[in-house]
Structure 1
Amino acid sequence: MATRRSNKWPSLLTNNGRGIAFGGDYNPDQWPEAVVDEDIRLMCQAHVNTVALAIFSWDKIEPREGAFTFEWLDRVIDKLGKAGIAVDLATATASAPMWLYIKHPEVLPIDKYGHTVNPGSRQSWQPTSPVFKAYALTLCCKLAEHYRDNPYVTAWHVGNEYGWNNRYDYSDNALDAFRTWCRARYGDIDALNEAWGTAFWSQHVNDWDEVLLPRHMGGDAMVNPAQQLDYERFGNDMLLDFYKAERDAIAEICPDKPFTTNFMVSTDQCTMDYAQWADEVDFVSNDHYFHEGESHLDELLCSDALMDSLALGKPWYVMEHSTSAVQWKPLNTRKRHGELMRDALAHVAMGADAINFFQWRQSASGAEAFHSAMLPHAGADSTIYRDVCKLGEALHALGEAGMQGSELERSDTAILFSAESEWATRSQTLPSMKLDHWHDVRDWYRGLLDAGRRADIVPLAYDWSGYQTVILPTVLILSDRDVRRLADFARKGGSVIIGYATGLIDEHFHVGLGGYPGAGHGLLREMLGVRSEEFNILGSEAEGEPFEIRLCDGSVSRLWQNVVTGLAEGTKVIAEYVGAEAAEWELADVPAITRHPYGEGAALYVGCDLDRSGIASLMRALYSATVVDQRIIHTIRRSVDGNAVFDCYLNRDRQPVHVQNVMGDPIVAHRCKPGARAHEYVMDRNSVLIVKRVE
C-alpha cells in the first residue's frame, strides 16, 4: 500500500500566495514571440493568474539532440511572472520531437495486431522503453536544474494525460516488463496458473518465459479474462511508474515545488486507476470535458464527485476544460449562453480551487485548431473572451471572500467506483457485452439527483465506513476482503445497495459458486438474503421477443434480470416482475428488488437494471421523509476552521426556479436575481448563486 504524499497546493503570485487559480494551457511557441506581450495584457484584463506552460514544447526546448534552448522560455516566464501570473511548468515529455523517433524508432508502441504506432500525434512512445525513459529523464533534469530557483515557477506539471495514446502497448519491452510484473505479483508460476485459470483451453504455463501479452488471437477469439485484467493493471502500473520516475528526477534537484499530473475523469473516460495515482501527486488535478446533451451538468457533477474523493476532500485543480466546443468528438456541440460561467463555477461548487482551460489562445493550425479557447479565433472582441473576463472577475471575488481552501461538505451516501470493475465490464466473456460500470455510476448519481439527493463517488479501495449508505452499481469485482468490509458496514448499522451485476467475480475473474452473486464464498448472498441461479438478458437482437420487462412499482428493466430462486428468512420483496413480458420470460412474480436486515443495518438487492426514473423512484421510496427540490443542486463548502460557509446553488432545470431561505451575502450571482420575498432568489437557466455566511 502506497503512502500518500502530503497535500501541497501551488502558490499564486499574489501578496499572500492565495486565491482561486485561473488560467489555462499556454502555448506561446505556436506564435511569433511578439504575440506574448498582447497575450499577457489580455490575460491580466481577464484576471488570469496562472498558466500551464511548455506541455508540448520538447522540440522547442531541445530542437536537436543535446542542444537545449531555454532562452525563449526564460523570456516568456519572466514576462508572465512580472505580470503576476504563476507558471505550472510541464516536463514537456508527453510528445517527443521527431528527431528522437527517427533516430530511435524502437521507442514506438506496438498495437495488439503487431503494427507500429507511428509518430505524429501525442504519446507515441512505450512506457517500458529504457531508451525513451533515458531521453525523458534527461529533459526533466535539465528543466529542474534550470528552473529550480525561478520564483515564477510555482508547480511542476509532470507529463500530460498519461495513457491517452499509449495505454496499451504490446511491444517486446512491454512483454519483458509484464513478465517481471507477473512474477512480482504472484511469486511463483503455480499461483499465476491458479489466478488465470489456465486449466481452461490448455493455457497452462510452465515458467515465466511462457507468459504472453494478450495480443490479437485471430477472428472472434476471446482473451482469457483474468490475463486481460492483469494486463489492464500492468498498463496502469507501467505508466504510473513512468510518472514517478519523471517526478522523482525533478524532485532530486527541485524538491520544494508541488507536483501534479492531469487525470482524465469524465464519464466518457476514466483511463487509469486514479485511486492509486492520487497517492503520488501533491495536489489532485483533472481534465474534464463536458458530455453533449441533457446530461451536461449532471455528468460534470458526477465526475467532480469522484475527483473530490480522490483529493480526500481537499480542494482540487481543474487543469483543463473547454470554453465551448471541442474538435475531437463525433458531435462537437458548443456551449449555450451562460454555460461557460456555469460549468466553471459548478467545478468550484464541487470543491475545485483552480479553473483552467485548454487553451489560452486558440490555435491557427494543427489538430486542435477548432478546439475552443479563452481567446478565440475571433479575438478579444468576442462573446467567449468577454465571458472569460466575467469568469475571472467572479473567481477573483471568491478568492477575496476567502473561499480558497474551504472543503466540500460530504453527503451521507456514497456510490462506490472501481477502476478494475470498469476494465472488467469491457470483457467479451460476460453474460452481456453492454455493461458499463462507470456509466451505471453516473445513472445512479443522476437518479439520486432526480430524487433530490446528492451522493459522493468514492473509490471502492478507500475508506467509506463513515457513510450511512453505500451503493454498488455493476461493481463486477469484489474480493473476499471487499465483501467482508461490506458485511461489517451493514452489521454496524449501514445500508448497502447491491446492483444486478455486482459481485459476480473476484479479483482474478473467478466466478463464485453456489448461486449469484457469488463473491465472498457465500457471504454476499448471506448479507443480501438472496440466491439467483441464472441471468435473463434482453435485447432487440432477439427478434420477436419482449425487450423490456415491467416491475410492479412501474419501473422497467431492459437489459438484465437475475432469476432469483431463493430468499432467506426475513427478506422482504420490494418489487416483482409483472405483466405479459415477464410471463413470456417466465419471470412473473419473481423478486426483482429485495431488502434483508443484516446486523444493525440492511442490504438492498436490485436484481435488474433500472433507468434513471426507476432509480429515482426507488430512492424516493427509501427516503420518503425527505422533500427537496430536485431542480436545484445545493452544495456547501466550509472553511477549515468552520467559521465561513459558502452555499452554492445550481439550477438543473431549463426554466427559472425560485429558491427560498438563502441566507448570507451573495458573492457571485450569475443569471439570477433577488425574488419578491426575503431570502429568495430567482435562478434562470444555467445560473449559479454562491453566498457566504459566518457561523
Structure 2
Amino acid sequence: MTTRRTFRWPSLLTESGRGIAFGGDYNPDQWPEETLDEDIRLMVQAGVNTVALAIFSWDKIEPREGEFTFEWLDHVIDKLGAASIAVDLASATATAPLWLYERHPEVLPIDRYGHVVNAGSRQSWQPTSPVLKEYALRLCRKLAEHYKDNPYVTAWHMGNEYGWNNRYDYSDNALAAFRTWCEAKYGTVDALNEAWGTAFWSQHVNSFDEVLLPRHMGGDSMVNPPQQLDYERFGNDMLLDFYKAERDAIEEICPGKPFTTNFMVSTDQCTMDYAQWANEVDFVSNDHYFHEGESHLDELACSDALMDSLALGKPWYVMEHSTSAVQWKPLNTRKRAGELMRDSLAHVAMGADAINFFQWRQSASGAEAFHSAMVPHAGSDTKLFRGVCELGAALKTLSDAGVQDTELKRADTAILFSAESEWATRSETLPSMKLNHWHDVRDWYRGYLDAGARADVVPLAYDWSGYQTIVLPTVIALSDEDTRRIADFAENGGTVIVGYATGLIDEHFHIGLGGYPGAGNGLLRDMLGIRSEEFNILGEEAEDEPAEIGLSNGLTTRLWQNDVTSVAPDTRVLATYVGTAAADWELDGVPAITSHPHGQGAAIYVGCDLGRHDITHLLKELNTTAPSDERAPDQRPGGGEINAATTTAAATTHDPRILHTIRQSSDGTIRFDFYLNRSKQPVAVNGVEGDPIIAHRCETDAVGYTLNRNAILIAKTSC
C-alpha cells in the first residue's frame, strides 16, 4: 500500500510565513526587461504574495545543450523576493526546447495511428523516453543546485498539467514499457490472458513480448476493453513515475521545500487517477476552469469537493483559474460582474488556502494570447484589474481573520468517484456509449444542492466508512474487494444508493454472471435484493421509438432502463415504469427504484438514468436530506426499523438557492460560514451567526442579508 507523503504547505514571505497565497503564473521571459518593475509595482498594489515561475522556460534556462543561464531568473527572483513575493519554482520541463527535438526527434510521441506528434505545443515528448528523461533530470538537478538555498523559493512546482498532450503515447518506448508494466502487474502470461479474456478473437499471447498497445486496428474495430483499461492505467503510471523522478532528483539536493504539481480536475476532465497522485505531493494543487452556463458555480463546487477529499481535508491550492474568458473552448464566455471575486472565494469556501490565476499579464502573442489574465491587454486601468485588487484585499481580510488551516466541515453523504470507472465508461463496447461516470457524479451533486443539502465527493479508493450515506453513480467497475466494502457499509447501518450502470464489470472488465449488477460474484445484487436480465437503451438514433419512459412517481428516464425480473421478498418497490412507452418496451409495471434492508442499513437501487431535477425529486421522496430526528420509521429508506441516525444524507437542509459551507478549526474555537447565491435572483438569508467579514454584492437590513446575483457572504464565529 502506498504511503502518503507528509503534508507540507509552502511559506509566504510574510513575518509569520502564513496567509492565503494569492498570485498566478508569471512569465517575465515573454516581456522586455522594463516591464518587470511595473509588474512588481502592480503585484504589490493587488496584494499578490506568490507567483509560479519558469513553467515553460526550459529554452530560456538552457538555450543550447549544456549551456545553463540563470542570471535572468536570479534577477527576477531577487526582485520578487525584495517585494515579499514568494516563488513557486517550476522544474521547467513542461515543454522541451526545439534544439532538443531537432537533435533527438526520437523523443516525440506517436499517436494511435502511427503519426509523430510534432514539437511546437506543450509536452511533445514521450514519458517513457530515456533520452528525454536524461535531459529533464539534468535540468532538475541544475535548478536544485542553484536554488536550494534561495530564501525566496518556497516551493517546487513539478512539470505542468502532466498528461495534457502526452497522456496517450504509442511509441516503441511505450510498447517496451507497457510490456514491463504488464509483467509486473500480472506476474505470469496465464494471469494476463485470464484478465484480458484473450480467448475472444484469438488474442492469446504466449509471452509478454507479444503484448501489444491498443493502436488503431482499422475501420471501426473495437479495442479489447480490459487491454484498453490497462493501457489507461499504464499511461497514468508512466506519467506519475516521470513526476516522481523529477521530484526525487530535486529533493535529493533540496529536501527542505514542499513539492506539488497541478492536477486537472473539473467535471469536464479528470485526466489522471489523482487518488494515486495525491499520495505523491506535499500539498494538493488544481487547475480549474469554470463551465459556461447555469452550472458554473455548482460545477466548481463539485470539482472542489473532490479536491478537498484528495487533500484529506487539509488545505489545498488553486494553482490556476481564470479572471474571465479562456481561449481554448468552442464557446469562450467571459465572467459577469462579481464572478471573479465570487469564484475565487467559492474555492476558499470549499477548502482552498491559495488562489492563483493563469496568468499575471495577458500575453501579446502566442497560443494563449486571448486567455484572460490578472493584468489584461487593456492594462491596469480596467475593471478587471480593479477586481483583482478587490480580491487581494478580501483574501488579506480572510487571512487576518484566521481562515488558513481551518478545514471544510464534512457532509454526511459521500458521492463516490472512480477514475477507473470514468475510463471504463469511455469504452465503445458498452450497451450505450453515452455513459459518463463523472457527469453522473456532478448531476447527483447538483441534485443534493437542489434538495437543500450538500454532499462530499470522495474517491472510491479512499476511506468513506465514516459517512452515513454513499452514492455510486455509474461506478461501472467494482472489484470484489470494493463490493465487499460497500456491503459492509450497509451491514453496519449505512445507506447505499446504487445507480443504474454501477457494478456491471470488475476491475478487469469482466462481466459478473447470474444477472445484473453482477459485481462481487453477485454480492451487490444480493445486497440490493433485485436481479436484472437486460438493459433497455433509448436514444434519438432509433426513429419512431419512444424517447423517454415515465415512472410511477412522476420521474422520467431517457437513456437506460434495467429490466428487473426478480425482486427479493423483503425488497420494497418505490417506483415502477408506467405508461404507453413503458408498455411499448414491455416494461410496464417493472420495478425501476427499489429499497432493500441489508444488515442494519439499507440499499437503494436506482435502476434507470435520471436527470438532475428528477434526482432532487427522488432525494426528497426518500427523505434522505431531512434531519435524522425528523423522520418517522415509514419515511426511512427501506421502510423498516432502521436506525434513523444512519440514514440521513445531510445533517441539515436549507434554502436550495444558497450554497452553504462551513470551515472550522480543529479545536472548534473558530468557525467560518460561507453563503453563496446559486440563483440569478436576490435571495434573503436570515439567522446568520457570527460577525460578517466579507459581504460581496450583499445588502443588509434589520432582519438579515439579501444576497444578489454572484454574491458571497462570509461570517466568523469565535468560541
Q: Identify the match of residue 673 of structure 1 among 672, 677, 699.
A: 699
| Paired residue type of 1:155 | A
Match of 1:688 in 2: 712
Contact 1:148 1:253 in 2 (8 A): yes
Paired residue secondary structure (1:117): coil
Match of 1:311 in 2: 311
Contact 1:421 1:437 in 2 (8 A): yes
Residue pairs, 1:439-518, within 5 angstroms: 439-518=439-518
* Distance in 1, Cα, partners of 2:486 & 2:75: 56
Contact 1:472 1:498 in 2 (8 A): yes
1:376 matches 2:376: yes
1:620 matches 2:646: no
Residue pairs, 1:51-450, within 5 angstroms: 51-450=51-450
Paired residue secondary structure (1:616): helix
1:587 matches 2:587: yes
Match of 2:45 in 1: 45
Match of 1:653 in 2: 679
| Paired residue type of 1:651 | N
Shift, 1:663, TM fit? 1.1
* Distance in 2, Cα, partners of 1:115 & 1:188: 32
Shift, 1:12, TM fit? 0.3
Residues 283-340 of structure 1 deviation map (CA, whole Å, 9 limit, x = unaligned): 0000000001100000000000000000000010000000000000000000000000
| Paired residue type of 2:505 | I
Shift, 1:675, TM fit? 2.5
* Distance in 2, Cα, partners of 1:210 & 1:463: 38
Shift, 1:622, TM fit? 1.9
| Paired residue type of 1:512 | G
Match of 1:664 in 2: 690
* Distance in 1, Cα, partners of 2:600 & 2:114: 56
* Distance in 2, Cα, partners of 1:641 & 1:356: 29
Match of 1:607 in 2: 607
* Distance in 2, Cα, partners of 1:128 & 1:315: 33
Q: Identify the match of residue 640 of structure 1 among 656, 661, 666.
A: 666
Paired residue secondary structure (1:252): helix
Q: Identify the match of residue 631 of structure 1 among 630, 635, 657.
A: 657
Contact 1:445 1:455 in 2 (8 A): yes
* Distance in 1, Cα, partners of 2:33 & 2:260: 28
* Distance in 2, Cα, partners of 1:216 & 1:691: 56
Paired residue secondary structure (1:489): helix
| Paired residue type of 2:571 | T
* Distance in 2, Cα, partners of 1:56 & 1:74: 16
Q: Single out whichever of 665-674 and 391-400 deviates more from structure 2.
A: 665-674
Alpha carbons of 1:625 and 1:258: their partners in 2 closer, same or farther (altered >3 Å)?
closer
Match of 1:36 in 2: 36
* Distance in 2, Cα, partners of 1:675 & 1:232: 56
* Distance in 2, Cα, partners of 1:152 & 1:192: 50
Match of 2:650 in 1: none
Shift, 1:34, TM fit? 1.1
* Distance in 2, Cα, partners of 1:32 & 1:296: 37
| Paired residue type of 1:444 | W
* Distance in 2, Cα, partners of 1:636 & 1:288: 21
Shift, 1:639, TM fit? 1.3
* Distance in 2, Cα, partners of 1:87 & 1:453: 39
* Distance in 1, Cα, partners of 2:701 & 2:112: 61
| Paired residue type of 1:588 | D
Contact 1:658 1:675 in 2 (8 A): no
Shift, 1:628, TM fit? 1.8
* Distance in 2, Cα, partners of 1:15 & 1:683: 36
Residues 356-412 of structure 1 deviation map (CA, whole Å, 9 limit, x = unaligned): 000000000000000000000000011110000000000000000110110000000
Contact 1:25 1:357 in 2 (8 A): yes
* Distance in 2, Cα, partners of 1:621 & 1:402: 40
Paired residue secondary structure (1:573): strand
TM-score, normalised relative to structure 2: 0.96
Shift, 1:625, TM fit? 3.6
* Distance in 1, Cα, partners of 2:304 & 2:123: 26
Q: Single out whichever of 632-641 and 317-326 deviates more from structure 2.
A: 632-641
Identity %: 78
Residues 653-687 of structure 1 deviation map (CA, whole Å, 9 limit, x = unaligned): 1111110110111111100022231xx11110000
* Distance in 1, Cα, partners of 2:150 & 2:127: 30
Contact 1:555 1:613 in 2 (8 A): no
Contact 1:550 1:579 in 2 (8 A): yes
* Distance in 2, Cα, partners of 1:28 & 1:611: 47
Match of 1:538 in 2: 538
Q: Gaps spanning 5+ residues in structure 1: where?
A: none
Match of 2:643 in 1: none
Match of 1:596 in 2: 596
Match of 2:24 in 1: 24
Shift, 1:249, TM fit? 0.1
* Distance in 1, Cα, partners of 2:5 & 2:686: 42
Paired residue secondary structure (1:583): helix
Shift, 1:553, TM fit? 1.1
| Paired residue type of 1:641 | D
Shift, 1:70, TM fit? 0.3
* Distance in 2, Cα, partners of 1:411 & 1:500: 24
Paired residue secondary structure (2:87): strand
Shift, 1:554, TM fit? 1.1
* Distance in 1, Cα, partners of 2:677 & 2:43: 30
* Distance in 1, Cα, partners of 2:451 & 2:701: 25
* Distance in 1, Cα, partners of 2:600 & 2:569: 16
* Distance in 1, Cα, partners of 2:530 & 2:89: 55
Contact 1:24 1:357 in 2 (8 A): yes
Residues 238-262 of structure 1 deviation map (CA, whole Å, 9 limit, x = unaligned): 0000000000000000000000000
* Distance in 1, Cα, partners of 2:102 & 2:384: 40
* Distance in 2, Cα, partners of 1:665 & 1:157: 37
| Paired residue type of 1:639 | S
Paired residue secondary structure (2:659): strand
* Distance in 1, Cα, partners of 2:304 & 2:699: 27
- Cα RMSD after superposing both structures: 0.6
| Paired residue type of 1:687 | A
